[in-house]
Structure 1
Amino acid sequence: MLLGEYRHNIDTKGRLIIPAKFREQLGPQFMVTRGLDGCLFGYPPSEWEQVQEEIDHLPFNKRDARTFARLFFSAATECELDKQGRINLPEPLIKYAKLQKQCVLTGVSKRFEIWDAEKWDRYNEQAQDDFNEIAENLLDF
C-alpha cells in the first residue's frame, strides 16, 4: 500500500526522486500518466494492468470514453529508477501537471500522485475544509 506525503524537487532535466517507501512497492519499473485534478498518477505494474482492463471495458462508442482512454494512455510512460532512486518525467507530463521546482508525492493506496507543491497545498487546504462533509456524503454509498 502506498501511503504518505513526501516533498522532493524536480530538476531541470525532469528527474524526480521517488520516496524509498514507494520504491519498495513499485519495483524497478512502473507507469506514470495524466491524473485527475491536475496531477500525475503512478501505478505499480500489477495495478496498471487492472486499470488498463477497466478502461478497456469502457464503451468505445461513447465519445467521453474514447477521449479519456486516448488522453490517459497517450501520456503514459514507463518509468525506470536510476541508481539515485529518480525517474525522468517527459516534458508533456511536466507541462500537464504544471510541475515547478518542488513537487509533492502522495500515496493513495494502490497508486501514487505527483503534484506541484503549490497546487497540492491549495488543493489540500480546500479538501481539508470539506473533509467531514465529503466523508458524510460518501457514507451514503
Structure 2
Amino acid sequence: MFMGEFQHNIDTKGRIIVPSKFREELGATFVVTRGLDQCLFAYPMTEWKVLEEKLKKLPLTKRDARAFTRFFFSGAIECEIDKQGRINIPQTLRTYASLEKECVIIGVSNRIEIWSHSTWETYVTESEESFAEIAENLMDFDI
C-alpha cells in the first residue's frame, strides 16, 4: 500500500526522484499516465493490469467510456527507475500536470500521484474546506 506525502523537484530534463519508500512496491517497471484533478497517476504493473481489464470491459458504444479510455491510455508510458532513484516524465505529461519545478508525490493506496506543488496546495485547501461534507457523502460506502 502506498501512503505518505513527499516533496521533490523535477529537473529541466523531466527527471524526478521517486521516494525510496515507494520504489520497491512500484517494481522494476511501472506505468505513469494522466490522472484526474490535473495530476499524474503511477501504477505498479499488477495494478495497471487490473485497471486495464476493467477498462477493456467498458462498452465501446458509450461515448464517455471511449473518451475516458482514450484519455487514460494515450498518456500512459512505462517507466523504469534509474540508479539515482529517478524517473523521466515526458513533456506531454509534464505539461498536463503543470510540473515545472516543485512537485509533491503522494501515496494513494494502490497508486502514487505526482502533483505540481501549487496545484496540490490549491487542491488541499479546497478539499479541507469541504472534508466533512465529502466524508458524509461517503458514509453510504461504509467508510
In the other structure, the counterpart of 1:6 is 6
After the TM superposition, which parts of structure 1 deviate over 6 Å for at least 4 consecutive aligned residues? Answer: none
In the other structure, the counterpart of 2:125 is 125
The AA in structure 1 aligned to 2:44 is P
In the other structure, the counterpart of 1:105 is 105
Indicate the percent of aligned positions where both proteins have the same amino acid: 59
Please say if 1:76 is aligned against 2:45.
Answer: no
Offset at residue 132 of structure 1 (A):
1.2
Offset at residue 133 of structure 1 (A):
1.1
The AA in structure 2 aligned to 1:130 is S
C-alpha deviations, 1:54-82, integer Å up to 9, x for none?
A: 11111111111111111110110000000
Matches within 5 A, 1:40-51: 40-51=40-51
Cα distance in 2 for partners of 1:67, 1:131 equals 29
Offset at residue 40 of structure 1 (A):
0.4
The AA in structure 2 aligned to 1:138 is L
The TM-score, its normalising length taken from structure 1, stands at: 0.98
In the other structure, the counterpart of 2:58 is 58
Cα distance in 2 for partners of 1:3, 1:109 equals 6
Offset at residue 28 of structure 1 (A):
1.7
Unaligned runs of 5+ in 2: none
Offset at residue 8 of structure 1 (A):
0.3
The TM-score, its normalising length taken from structure 2, stands at: 0.96
The AA in structure 1 aligned to 2:79 is C
Cα distance in 1 for partners of 2:102, 2:68 equals 28
Offset at residue 140 of structure 1 (A):
2.2
In the other structure, the counterpart of 1:114 is 114
Kindly tell me the number of residue pairs found equivalent between the two proteins.
141
